[in-house]
Amino acid sequence: MKKTSNRLADGREIIYYDLRDDTVRDAVDQRPLGATSTASEIRYDPLLSEWTAVTAHRQERTYHPPADACPLCPTRDGRLSEIPEPGYDVAVFENRFPSFTGGPGPGAAAGPHGLMAQRPGAGRCEVVCFTPDHHASFASLTDEQARLVLDVWTDRTAELSQRPGVEQVFCFENRGEEIGVTLQHPHGQIYAYPFTTPRTERMLGSLARHAAATGGRNLFDDVVAAELADTRRVVCESAHWVAFVPHAAHWPYEVHLYPRERVPDLLALSEEARADFPALYLEVLRRFDRLFGPDEPPTPYIAAWHQAPFNLPASGRQHGARADGEAVSVTREDFALHLELFTIRRTSGKLKFLAGSESGMNVFINDVPPERAAERLREVASDRQPTGSEPRTELR
């Protein structure tokens, strides 16, 4: 993988990741762009113990441009875009309308009764373009291309985690207008948060409580072992990965992918697990696209990598207590890297909307039994078999 960094006309960084070491990336952004003006702040909700970002500048972000004005396509035939090169393997650039940006600063004084805390929304938001083909999808990538994207996610995680104020790095892809995507070109994003996200905080708390209740057992390990033992919700597996519909799935079709060897983040994956990932992940994505039949448009989905926050001290963070009152701490190594993939389409032509119970109380009601979802995902398995050049365990 060759990595080349350059600058766009307004000063934002763009980074090219190429499969060939002899690739040269030196095109200059010819657009007459002024310097970006962004401001992000985060405000603390004391009732939910979580941060919310306030970003007024994002109201002006690009919204459903026509295909011939796509800002993520390469610059060709006189049409200028966010990517000055006429082609690319993977391109990553700073989002022009970021939710988090800049470095940390002093927090504003809290308001009455010590509440209303706020501070700068430090961090960084990046766009990851998987392919120059506007009409492609992640599922249409080759194993080699998917491996390159995995290496890009890993490299960006390593770099962003070192930025001042960053506590957690989140790599994800939104696909489909139904999900809320405003640019149809296949792409993902990376958020470098200035706090540990609420979802991760809840996982850490559950991890500590499980350890306290079981004499130190790891919750992630036990969940994966339980799913493998049950077998009904296992979708497919390989030598180094397992994919299953979780027992208490929130979404109509939801699959979690775990490496068999627990690691806290993408940086810690073994080379064997990296080499094994593309075939399994691409197979799951292709099954998603076959769920509802050939006449249905591509399945909308969100694919989200969950990584351990980088601010956990070596001694761990206290998140619970045993029955005798002694505190229980969790460390980064206790967390399990995993990818959560789900769609809001519940059946042909119908979407799962977050209504009163989900949006108002965060209590999900799922119309599709997880066992039936897993069965359907097994039914739509591809006929693709590993070849002699692909030394992988056959996908189940």
Question: Residues forming the annotated binding site?
Answer: 70, 73, 134, 185
- Is-catalytic flag, 187? yes
**Cα distance between residue 173 and residue 341, in whole Å:** 9
DSSP conformational letter for 29: -
Query: Quick one: 209 exposed, middle or buried, by C-beta within 10 A (0-12, 13-18, 19+)?
Result: middle
Q: Which two tokens stand for residue 85?
A: 């090169």
Distance (Å) of CA 58 to CA 31, 102, 189: 21, 15, 15
Longest dimension (CA), the chain: 71
Q: Which of 187, 210, 256, 319 is catalytic?
A: 187
Phi, psi torsion values for 173, nearest 5 degrees: -135, 130
CB atoms within 10 A of CB 386: 13
- Cα 264 versus chain centre, distance: 15
Can you say which residues are annotated as belonging to the binding site for Zn(2+)? 70, 73, 134, 185
Alpha carbon distance 123, 104 (integer Å): 8
Please choose, from the candidates 173, 88, 101, the residue with its C-alpha nearest in 3D space to the C-alpha of residue 139: 173
The H or E element containing residue 375 is helix 370-379
Catalytic residues: 187
